[in-house]
Structure 1
Amino acid sequence: MRRVALGALGCALVSALSSGCAVGAADDDGRGPGAPTGVTAAAGSATSVHVMWNAVAADRGIRAYEVYVGAERAGDVGAEKAGDVPGATHMLDVVRLTPSTAYVFTVRARDTEGRLGPPSREARATTVAAGAGDRSAPAVPGGVTGRAAGSRAAQLSWSASADNRKVVSYEVYRGDVKIHGVGAAQTATVVTGLRPGTSYAFTVRARDAAGNLSPAGPAVRITTAQVDDEGTDTAPADFRASSHRGADGGFYIDLSWTPPRVDGVVTEYRIQLDGRPATSLVWGGEPPRGTAAYSFYAGGHAGVAHRVRVRARLPDGGWGAFSAERTVTTGPAS
């Protein structure tokens, strides 16, 4: 288990038990957008890398995202702009790269008034070796299945593809538009940012190191729930709560959970205590991919029962479903 200390968080917390600064309020004074979080980079082939990031909240809205790339090698002159995408898009395939080369990627947000925010934390990826002379595309990924995960998400899975050399990545398409990419070791994902009561057709294609792309198999058709709610697949799993008495004599609530499986990285959570927002957490560094844990002050009295649950802000900017609710009682006085 990876326990996250308060010092590892990118911002202070907001608590119903004690006052503090508002998380994510950096744009409330009319300044430019903040730095994108949850930036990931994964090789798509010998000459391409798939870069993804989380949506940025800004008081004036986001007009575009700009992606920058630099090679990690001696004499590198620094990052260059690799491309930009509209504000509703949170991914870019950076192409025309060099095989077997390490690269560094950053992302910046530009708001509707043209103000460019600071760069994100760096994400690193290394392109794979070129498949010289390889003109054979991988086989179509088989067994593609999917189901709606509430009104705004869909869960997809498929079986591994085969190639005469090696599959490097899988690409998910909505219609004929690529919406996501994952490494060859991953054969499932949750796609977020969908609309309630809407029918979608998804296909999965495999790509090898030479850039050969498999044909698309039969589309899996999914209709999201009509009601504007969140599916349980977007909720943190394995949520647990307990209490301990600290050295200061006060009582603390200890929480642990597993992040939801979504098409991106979860960097922010909101904890609800007794039906009210209690604490918002934002990871400024690398967020936990396995079990996350957090403790917060619950008062100085023993024998007090509290109801607690947690939800995640999804990479598309919306909130996922709440975890199961747990009841925890502060321990007896020692």
Structure 2
Amino acid sequence: MEGKTVQRPHAPAALACSAALLLATLTACGGSAEADTQSPTTPHGVTAQASSSTSVHVMWEPASDNTAITGYEIYREGRKVKSVPAAKRMIDIDGLTASTAYTFTVRARDAAGNLSGPSPAVPVTTQATPPEDDRAPTAPVKLRGTADGSRAATLTWGGSTDDVGVTSYDIYQEDSRIHSVPGTATTARLTGLRPGTVYTFTVRARDASDKSSPDSNAFDLTTASAPGAPASTAPTGLRTTTTAEGKQFVVDLSWDQPRTGGEIPAYELYLNGRMTTTIVWGGTPPQGRATYRLTLTDPPGTRYSLKLRAKLPDGKWGDFSAQRTVVLGD
């Protein structure tokens, strides 16, 4: 029986065809043909502050990238000691030796693993070993501030005292430390804020033994809105009162409702940054100032931060109120 002849392409031609198809596939899927080889810009504004005899606080301004920054790497004498995500621009380097000189640099990293050049090296000397120190500093007082446009603010406060000495002041925004200044300063300028946003700041003093003071008073500050942006929908004037009732605690909240052009059917209440309950009115929503009673069964000394936001007439959730902190039984 006569066999059937099968025509096969010449091998080099077949390989060329496969390579072309692979290149087209990689290009279509954003593969190596479009690999990111551009490094981020070098971080600038790097500072290093000796927070104590064994730690240094390093801060820097953000870098930029053609795609996105995914993190920063911190180097001590040219050796990497810490990595942080892109959202962080400060870190404490611990485990150092007292009265010792160090240098720190910072590099930015993108999603492709490209590293920026190192920032200029910043020298710092850790503090001397402190004498025996059993007491924390007193709390800073009279925290005040002003918004500098829509993306910056300046805070001022009355200084703390300590039996040995205050070495730094740490600025907190909703219980997260966002900035530090030396113990000789009682003012701080904050940048990188969002327009038309309510911020709640507190300050703590720290001594050479890394003992922190209690919080200063909380100060609420609202940055200016961006041109053409809608008015803020944040509840204002949030107040809290905590009382003990048997083995539980009752927190009474009250606040001024935002003007939204209609009734506010509900609020979301957040404790320690997590949504805890939705406040829904049983009948007609209240006008003007609203109230809510929260019952907690945690032990005395438990600390909570509270904030809330309104459900707007169009069904979307509005801006967050300023934050309040309560300590049960305090």
Same fold, TM exceeding 0.5?
Answer: yes
More moved, 167-176 vs 129-138? 129-138
- Deviation of 1:57 after TM superposition, in Å, equals 1.5
How many residues are aligned here? 193
Is 1:205 the equivalent of 2:212?
A: no
Provide the residue aligned with 1:226 in structure 2. Answer: 225
Q: TM-score, normalised by structure 2?
A: 0.56
| AA in 2 matched with 1:47 | T
SS in 2 for 1:65: strand
More moved, 198-207 vs 132-141? 132-141
- Deviation of 1:114 after TM superposition, in Å, equals 1.4
- Deviation of 1:30 after TM superposition, in Å, equals 4.9
- Counterparts of 1:57 and 1:32 in 2: how far apart (Å)? 9
Q: Deviations over 1:20-50 (max 9, x none)?
A: xxxxxxxxx9521132121111111111111
- Counterparts of 1:120 and 1:44 in 2: how far apart (Å)? 21
Unmatched segments (≥5 aa) in structure 1: 1-28, 71-78, 230-334
| AA in 2 matched with 1:51 | V
Larger Rg: 2
Provide the residue aligned with 1:53 in structure 2. Answer: 60
1:66 and 1:84 in contact (8 A); partners too = yes
Alignment of 1:165-244 (within 5 A): 165-228=164-227
- Counterparts of 1:129 and 1:135 in 2: how far apart (Å)? 17
More moved, 140-149 vs 29-38? 29-38
- Counterparts of 2:176 and 2:63 in 1: how far apart (Å)? 22
Q: TM-score, normalised by structure 1?
A: 0.55
Q: Deviations over 1:259-288 (max 9, x none)?
A: xxxxxxxxxxxxxxxxxxxxxxxxxxxxxx
- Deviation of 1:133 after TM superposition, in Å, equals 2.4
- Counterparts of 1:140 and 1:190 in 2: how far apart (Å)? 20
Provide the residue aligned with 2:69 in structure 1. Answer: 62
Alignment of 1:96-107 (within 5 A): 96-107=95-106
Q: Deviations over 1:42-68 (max 9, x none)?
A: 111111111111211211211000101
Higher relative contact order (CA 8 A, sep 6+): 1
Alignment of 1:248-287 (within 5 A): none
Q: Deviations over 1:229-278 (max 9, x none)?
A: 9xxxxxxxxxxxxxxxxxxxxxxxxxxxxxxxxxxxxxxxxxxxxxxxxx
| AA in 1 matched with 2:173 | R
| AA in 2 matched with 1:164 | D
Is 1:137 the equivalent of 2:136?
A: yes
- Counterparts of 2:227 and 2:217 in 1: how far apart (Å)? 28
Structure 1 residue runs of 4+, over 6 Å off? none
- Deviation of 1:207 after TM superposition, in Å, equals 0.7
- Counterparts of 1:111 and 1:93 in 2: how far apart (Å)? 22
| AA in 1 matched with 2:57 | H
| AA in 2 matched with 1:168 | T
- Deviation of 1:161 after TM superposition, in Å, equals 1.1
1:60 and 1:113 in contact (8 A); partners too = no
- Counterparts of 1:36 and 1:165 in 2: how far apart (Å)? 35
Provide the residue aligned with 1:163 in structure 2. Answer: 162
- Counterparts of 1:189 and 1:132 in 2: how far apart (Å)? 29
- Deviation of 1:106 after TM superposition, in Å, equals 0.6
- Deviation of 1:111 after TM superposition, in Å, equals 0.9
